[in-house]
Amino acid sequence: MTRATNLPKLVATSVVRGSQKGQSHGGVYLIDFESRVVDQKIDWNSGDIDFSGRGWDRGLRGIEFTKDCVWIAASDELFCYSPDFRVIESFTNPYLKHCHEISRRDHLLFLTSTGFDSILAFDLNAKEFIWGLYISKNGAEWVGQPFDPRAKGGPAFVNSYHINMVRVDRDGISFSGLNTQALLAMSSDMSVKEICSLPRGCHNAMPFADGVIFNDTAADTVRFVSRSAAEVQISVPLFPPNELDFMGVDDSKVARQGFGRGLCILDDGLVAAGSSPSTISIIDIVKGERLTAVNLTMDIRNAIHGLERWPAEWS
């Protein structure tokens, strides 16, 4: 493994899969790869959590930034923190449930509402949820149905596609889920089209260079599939079983090592990728190799969720 230099500071959230009442359910961490220092900023131990399997309400999820705020999603609540992680305010909506990732473009913050197979938009100026898009399928065709999250009559709680990723950039809005088996894009007329196929069970799929990059979670790899070059696959770090903590204590059997989730595009062909037990790797996607990694804990239940570059002006 080659040591990388001049790496940015990263911020990560984690979910403790299989944790019980009274235990920590994850947290927020600042990771300085240059100094190899990990600073836990938040320990998420809320008592009003749904414990019905998988990650569900445990932990904190997607991360975004505005000029003076850090925005972090929990399962059904959007939190606004100061840069030193004091809670400023929080927001809820009846159609926000099992949120995973969030993404900002200008004054709009887009959130995956996994439990409702929907994407929600939160207006950062008005401080309210203003728009939703329910995703379904009619035969082979994807369908997007707009709805107002401020009114009754929205979609039912279904979670058919487990939408866990949304990405907004100059090219528009893309999203995907465990069961979409495709990276999807929303057009300006609210129609939904397929960009490319994906394996079932992946996380963090997003356009990258001339292709797509994602955590192929079922295969324990980070994959970059290009239109013009050979496919790149980098294995998720694995540890000797005798070094892992809490092996076999998760009755739901979903906590395992090598669970890849969390992906952040850096510079010069580098990406940061998360996995369990909570580990963050820096990958050179051009060379197809892992350059360095920082492990936060050997608790097999503790999995990285959100992963972003920490703003340089706050370092």
* Residue 25 pLDDT: 66
* Residue 61 pLDDT: 94
* Residue 21 pLDDT: 46
What domains are defined for the chain? Answer: 9-314 (2.120.10.30)
* Residue 232 pLDDT: 95
What is the residue-wise DSSP string for the chain?
-PPP-SPPEEEEEEEETT--TTS--EEEEEEETTTTEEEEEEE---SS---SSSSTT-S---EEEETTEEEEE-SS-EEEE-TT--EEEEE--TT--SEEEEEEETTEEEEEEGGGTEEEEEETTTTEEEEEEEEEEETTEEEEEEE-TTSS----S--SS-EEEEEEETTEEEEEETTT-EEEEE-TTS-EEEEEE--TT-EEEEEETTEEEEEEGGGTEEEEEESSS--EEEEPP---GGG-BSTT--TTS---TT----EEE-STTEEEEEETTTEEEEEETTTTEEEEEEE---BTTEEEEEEEEPPGGG-
* Residue 229 pLDDT: 82
* Residue 162 pLDDT: 96
* Residue 2 pLDDT: 52
**Each residue's pLDDT tens digit in the chain (315 positions)?**
554 557 889 999 998 865 444 445 679 999 999 888 999 999 876 544 343 433 344 579 999 999 999 999 999 999 999 999 999 999 999 999 999 999 999 999 999 999 999 999 999 999 999 999 999 999 999 999 999 999 999 999 999 999 999 999 888 899 999 999 999 999 888 899 999 999 999 999 999 999 999 999 999 999 999 988 889 999 999 999 999 987 765 544 567 899 999 999 998 899 999 999 999 999 999 899 999 999 999 999 889 999 999 999 997
